[in-house]
Amino acid sequence: MNDTLIQKGVALAGQTVSQEAGNSLFLNWWMWLAFVEFIIIIFLLFKKRVKSEGTAKRRFKKEALGQEVDFDNIIDSSFNSAHLYDELKVKCHPDRFPTDMKKNAIAVGLFQEISKNRNNIKRLLELKEEAIQKLNINQP
Amino acid sequence: MFDNAWNNILDWFRDRSERAKLLRSFNESARAAFVAGIAPTLLKASISKGDSAYRHQFSNWLNTGFRIQAFTGRVLAKEELVRIGKVILDDSVLVRRLIVLGWDTLEIHGDAGTYGCRWQLKDFIPLPKFNGDE
């Protein structure tokens, strides 16, 4: 009786051990499969990112967004650049320096820059400083 | 196809954030200039419907107008509206940024009256031709 019980117990234990080993092998397979899928997804995302960053449209967009916009200058220019432009275009006009060829040449360059930046007060103030130094525009 | 859709979704969120940031920066600068007495008029930027005739390759589906409202309490003369518009349009960095963020129309108007000025942004910057699949 006891021998039969022991034999049955050993057989059951053996069966359980073999089942456990099969299960863990099965779980291992799933883990490896998930890992491989993960690697493939990462590879595809990386590949797409590298590819998409290279397109011309994206490059154009990236460059445009990378530049800084000076909003303070824009707001200031909206209301104050016209007055300064009117002042500078008179004071720096090349016709005011008909005899001095050197100053006339400087005035031509400055006048072109002033006309180009008529809506940019920051640049106009820089040009005013330059005109004061090179053309003495503050003298009556 | 999935990758493209995913990139478009990411771009949409990124652009939305950039658009909000640009509007906030503009409005903060305008408010600071008004408070400091640099600007006699308070300007406020917002998003409007825009003009569908002004579309370009970066245009959004909806709401493609960049509207600037000048709070003067009176009807602004056309010269005053044009003056503000010209300053915006002369800043090529700002125009380029407005275009890539999906705006195609610039609108300037006052807080009184029914008239305003409107410009097509793509007229003020050379836009390269891009392939349709890019």
A70 Cβ contact partners less than 8 Å away, ≥ 6 residues apart: A122
Q: In Å, what is the CA distance from B87 to each residue of A3, A17, A70?
A: 103, 82, 12
Kindly report the average pLDDT of chain A as a whole number. 84
Average pLDDT over residues B46-69: 92
CB-based contact B88:B68 (threshold 8 Å): yes
The answer to the question of residue A140 being in a domain is no
Residues A10 and A25 in one domain: yes
Residue B109, pLDDT > 80, answer: yes
Selected residue of B90, B98, B106 to mutate for chain A interface (largest A Cβ count, 10 A): B90
Selected residue of A46, A69, A73, A117 to mutate for chain B interface (largest B Cβ count, 10 A): A69
Q: Are strands B105-110 and B65-71 parallel, antiparallel or unpaired?
A: parallel
More confidently predicted of A47 and B94: B94
Residues A23 and A75 in one domain: no
* Amino acid identity at A29: W
Report, in angstroms and rounded to the nearest whole number, the Rg of chain A calculated over CA atoms. Answer: 41
Domain segments of chain B as ranges? 2-124
pTM of the model: 0.74
Confidence of residue B38 (pLDDT cuts 50, 70, 90): very high
Average pLDDT over residues A123-133: 93
Supply φ then ψ for residue B108, to 5 degrees. Answer: -125, 130
Instruction: Give the closest of A48, A74, A82 to B91, CB-based.
Output: A74
Range of the domain at A39: 2-63
Four-point Cα dihedral A47, A50, A51, A55, nearest 10 = 170
Residues A56 and A78 in one domain: no
Instruction: For residue B7, list chain A residues with Cβ-Cβ distance below 8 A.
Output: 48, 52
Structure confidence at residue B134 (pLDDT) = 43
* Amino acid identity at B97: R
ipTM: 0.88
Residues A48 and A81 in one domain: no
Using the beta-carbon criterion (under 8 Å), do B87 and A78 form an inter-chain contact?
A: yes
Six-digit token string for B57: 């390759």
Using the beta-carbon criterion (under 8 Å), do B43 and A78 form an inter-chain contact?
A: yes
Of A1-15, A33-47, A71-85, B64-78, highest mean pLDDT: A71-85
CB-based contact B72:B87 (threshold 8 Å): no
